[in-house]
Structure 1
Amino acid sequence: MAPVSADERNTRTISTAACLIIGDEVLGGKTVDTNSAYFAKWCFNLGINLKRIEVIEDDEGEIVEAVQRMSDRYDFVVTSGGIGPTHDDITYQSIAKAFNLPLKLHQETFEKMKLLSKPHPNQPKFDWDVDSPARKAKLRMAELPTDDSRDLKKQALFPHDDLWVPVAVVNGNIHILPGIPRLFQRLVEGLKPHILPRLTDPEGKGTHRVLFSTPLPESGVAGYLTTLAAKVEPKGIKVGSYPRWGKKNNTVTLVGRDLDYLESLVDEVEAGIQGLRVTAESDGEEDPKQIKKDVIEQADKDTADQVAKEP
């Protein structure tokens, strides 16, 4: 099989994704990773099948192996962490090595950095035009893996005018993001306009999840769910069962793209698990009869409101 070019990876349809969290501080328990959870919800809402999340240390060999493998296997890959100014921020150099690319000063990033970076109160005499250890450290954040054979505009994206931090794009589908959750989230959201035309669902309707609450133990619904899964999974619907330790009820989920088909299964599933559809897992902690009464009352209210609005 002929190797896939970076330009091809940068334009093909996006149906699968992976997330690589890079950081000793996560593996050591110092920092709790929230970026992968945010990315998972982002993918779910766009209908992208997130296939893998990995957490690895700040180690060149680990990073090289992971990004090479993920770039080959998945359509859209994000990395988080390791792009700061200190010696242990090695993500850029490691990903450059993975794809045999040099690190080069990205002029647009540098200019934006000078324009938008706020002066640090403890560096009052810092001068961008004077060589210094601090300037060299800052420049590390503007030295990106660069493929001279490709359009530079496709290798660094700037989703927000008020942020100098780029999303470096390597090998067409590796998107390098910072580990700071606030920046990670803004940049991920900023990527949405760039990828919407490439989704299997260009309208970005995403994936749907229907929740059910059942008072039965998992062993009591296992047989029915096995039969249900065999019926619906060929149609792209996944069936899940999740025990809720210490709670009255357990949760069953249906996940898929076809909302109409999901809705058509509700009555059958409610009967099969002797439960009810809920809007959140905590809903199932109430009396099932009360839940049903509330649902009926809300439906009656919605109908009355709609009639009142009609001319």
Structure 2
Amino acid sequence: MTATKSERVTAAVMIIGDEILSGRTQDTNLSAIAKYLATYGVDLCEARVVPDVEQEIIDAVNALRTKYDYVITTGGIGPTHDDITADSIAKAFGVTAPEHPEIIAMLTARWGDQLNAARRRMAHVPEGGSLVKNPVQGPPGFQKDNVFVLAGVPSIMRGMLEDVGPRLRTGAVVLAKTVRVTGTGEGVIAAPLEAVAKAHPEMSLGSYPFFAPPDVYGANLVLRGRDAAELDIAVSELISALAEAGAKNVELLADPA
């Protein structure tokens, strides 16, 4: 299903794992998910990192699933004692998480009589949930209503995402253009950028400064919106306003391939 132009489709990401909060593991899933959702016109509006604590997971998923159209979680669906995501998601919905027969069949085919209790944990799926394909390795993830539960391993998570996309209600894709200003600080850039932002409230405008030793500095001004014509107008207005403010080196960067 595709949303109308006036509708906005939103999502949140919930990253689950003590290892992320401790700093031992660096998360890369958030960036991958944000970029993937953008291709479907889905706005990623919030991201949370929660520990491997049942009530924390329950509270976070319940808050996010009522606020946004979709929630994508990563992590905590393996065989160890701290892999509690599936059971916690089930409790958030007020249901149980029995072993899914399809996953048990997959695990049996792989492990045979070595399919112990720890491995069977990976077959837990909340009642009413549907499976999310895993084309990489290991058991699948699952979807329960508007919540998608994916693996934490980046390569596996990205593979699972390919089965998530077709299930999403899509929105208009956000377009972006970048105006680069070199040799001018944000103190000069701020007023022109604010004026254009106020003139185009439906768009997103951000300033991202850069510095390259010994003395190259400036900012990339990124304009984002769903209306291509309005985006072009805003870019022209910004370039003119920057020139009037005294910015000397202003260029519109080429769109990424």
TM-score using structure 1 length: 0.72
Cα distance in structure 2, aligned partners of 1:165 and 1:279? 42
Aligned-residue offset at 1:261:
2.1
Cα distance in structure 2, aligned partners of 1:219 and 1:161? 50
* 1:272 to 2:253 alignment: no
Could you tell me which residue of structure 1 aligns to residue 193 of structure 2?
Answer: 225
Whether the 8 Å contact between 1:158 and 1:164 is mirrored in structure 2 is no
Aligned-residue offset at 1:267:
2.9
Could you tell me which residue of structure 2 aligns to residue 237 of structure 1?
Answer: 203
* 1:210 to 2:177 alignment: yes
Cα distance in structure 1, aligned partners of 2:253 and 2:66? 39
Q: What SS class does the counterpart of residue 104 from structure 1 fall into?
A: coil
Cα distance in structure 1, aligned partners of 2:37 and 2:181? 28
Q: What SS class does the counterpart of residue 269 from structure 1 fall into?
A: helix
Q: What SS class does the counterpart of residue 98 from structure 2 fall into?
A: strand
Q: Residue 200 of structure 1: which of 165, 168, 171 is its match?
A: 171
Cα distance in structure 1, aligned partners of 2:43 and 2:165? 15
List gaps (5 residues or longer) in structure 1.
Answer: 1-12, 118-126, 148-154, 282-311
Q: What SS class does the counterpart of residue 139 from structure 1 fall into?
A: helix
Q: What per-residue deviation string (whole Å, max 9, x for no partner) do you get for residues 165-209 of structure 1? A: 323122x111110100001111112211222xx2234xxxx2111
> How many residue pairs end up in the alignment?
240
Of Structure 1 and Structure 2, the greater helix share is in 1
Cα distance in structure 2, aligned partners of 1:63 and 1:160? 23
Q: Which amino acid aligns with 2:174?
A: T
Whether the 8 Å contact between 2:134 and 2:140 is mirrored in structure 1 is no
Cα distance in structure 1, aligned partners of 2:75 and 2:152? 4
Give the share of equivalent positions with the same residue, in percent: 32
Could you tell me which residue of structure 2 aligns to residue 31 of structure 1?
Answer: 25
Aligned-residue offset at 1:161:
5.9
Cα distance in structure 2, aligned partners of 1:14 and 1:105? 36
Cα distance in structure 2, aligned partners of 1:140 and 1:60? 15
Q: Which amino acid aligns with 1:60?
A: E
Aligned-residue offset at 1:263:
2.2
Could you tell me which residue of structure 2 aligns to residue 139 of structure 1?
Answer: 120
* 1:73 to 2:48 alignment: no
Could you tell me which residue of structure 2 aligns to residue 252 of structure 1?
Answer: 221
Aligned-residue offset at 1:160:
5.3
Of Structure 1 and Structure 2, the greater strand share is in 2
Could you tell me which residue of structure 2 aligns to residue 284 of structure 1?
Answer: none
TM-score using structure 2 length: 0.86
Cα distance in structure 2, aligned partners of 1:29 and 1:15? 32
Q: Residue 55 of structure 2: which of 61, 65, 68 is its match?
A: 61
* Paired residues for 1:135-214 under 5 Å: 135-147=116-128, 155-159=129-133, 165-170=139-144, 172-195=145-168, 198-201=169-172, 206-214=173-181
Q: What per-residue deviation string (whole Å, max 9, x for no partner) do you get for residues 142-161 of structure 1? A: 111114xxxxxxx2234356
Q: Which moved more, 1:185-194 or 1:175-184?
A: 185-194
Q: Which amino acid aligns with 1:143?
A: H
List gaps (5 residues or longer) in structure 2.
Answer: 1-6
Cα 1:16/1:176, change in 2 over 3 Å: same
Whether the 8 Å contact between 2:15 and 2:74 is mirrored in structure 1 is yes
* Paired residues for 1:9-158 under 5 Å: 15-115=9-109, 117=110, 128=112, 130=113, 135-147=116-128, 155-158=129-132
Larger radius of gyration: 1
Q: What SS class does the counterpart of residue 69 from structure 1 fall into?
A: helix
Could you tell me which residue of structure 2 aligns to residue 289 of structure 1?
Answer: none
Could you tell me which residue of structure 2 aligns to residue 263 of structure 1?
Answer: 232
